[in-house]
Amino acid sequence: MKISLIGFDSMGVRSMATFVETDDLTIFIDPAVSLAPRRFSLPPHELEWRRLREVADKIAARARESDVIVITHYHYDHHDPGKHIPLDIYEGKTLIIKDPRIKINVSQKIRASRFIKLVKERTKEILIGDGRQLKVGRTYLEFSPPYPHGISDKLGYVIEVFVADTTGSFLFTSDVEGPVHTGPTDFIIRHQPDVIVLDGPPTYLTGYRFPEEAVIKASENIGKILSSCKGMLIVDHHLLRDINYKHFLVNASKAVLHSPPITAAEFMGREPELLEARRPELYGRRI
């Protein structure tokens, strides 16, 4: 199994775009990319727009190579209705999606409907992912039940993705924001994956839209995952919007003796570039 992390917050964009190659399949999970429209009262810097275009081109190229495309939910950093990523990536593909009717909030239901109308004639087939298990040759895919996007269902629901073949296993959490709940934590631990991509809590919103107790719960659950799973843990996305993300990771993993968590950029052999978190610096301003 080969895992390529194409676009992530540690790479300067809002994304969790992931390409997985197994014995039998090529799978692209969440081929989308976006930027924070405003952060620190500032719009995206030109460097962020340049990075977005670079990542979008990489996503499109790898997605065209895939057999299967997975959409874990309908936020624009996880699905793209043709804004930054051309819709031809869906030509002839098996598309596995978060259920657009059940366990979904109003805004995502509207986005899902629009998206499906745009791509349904291009795909080979569209399957509902929620709770589904699939076997293709020596490759096994399992999708979790829908879990809340964070501390409540206000932002809708997401599905986690587990992939295994004869050489290893991989788990993609999508936006569980921590995880802050038992369900997505247990789904990870039960599968004992060799590699985990976890979105991490949005600590940059602590005390504003993400309560302190949720940060504590996320830290506890990451500690449980590290204690129970001996595979590699990659923590990125929401957490990497915080310039001080390392403080959280050190605290969450302090009781664990084996390998500490790393970012998606580090997994791909790069230094993290937190462009959004550095936006005031890019504009030459002090926070």
Q: To the nearest whole number, what is the mean pLDDT of the chain?
A: 96
- Domain 2-282: homologous superfamily in CATH: Ribonuclease Z/Hydroxyacylglutathione hydrolase-like (3.60.15.10)
Specify the pLDDT at position 253.
85
User: Could you give the CA distance from residue 249 to residue 252 in angstroms, rounded to a whole number?
Assistant: 5
Per-domain residue ranges of the chain:
2-282
Q: Are 5 and 240 in contact (CB under 8 A)?
A: no
Model confidence at 286: pLDDT above 80: no
- pLDDT tens per residue across span 212-222: 999 999 999 99
* pLDDT exceeds cutoff 60 at 287: no
Angle between helices 212-228 and 182-191 (to 10 degrees): 10
177: closest CA among 144, 228, 218?
Answer: 218
What pLDDT score was predicted for residue 220?
95
- Distance between CA atoms of residues 73 and 79, nearest Å: 7
Quick: pLDDT tens for 217-255. Answer: 999 999 999 999 999 999 999 999 999 999 999 989 886
Residue 242 near residue 248, CB atoms below 8 Å: yes
For residue range 135-172, what is the model confidence (pLDDT) as tens digits?
A: 999 999 999 999 999 999 999 999 999 999 999 999 99
Look up tokens 């499109």; give the residue.
60
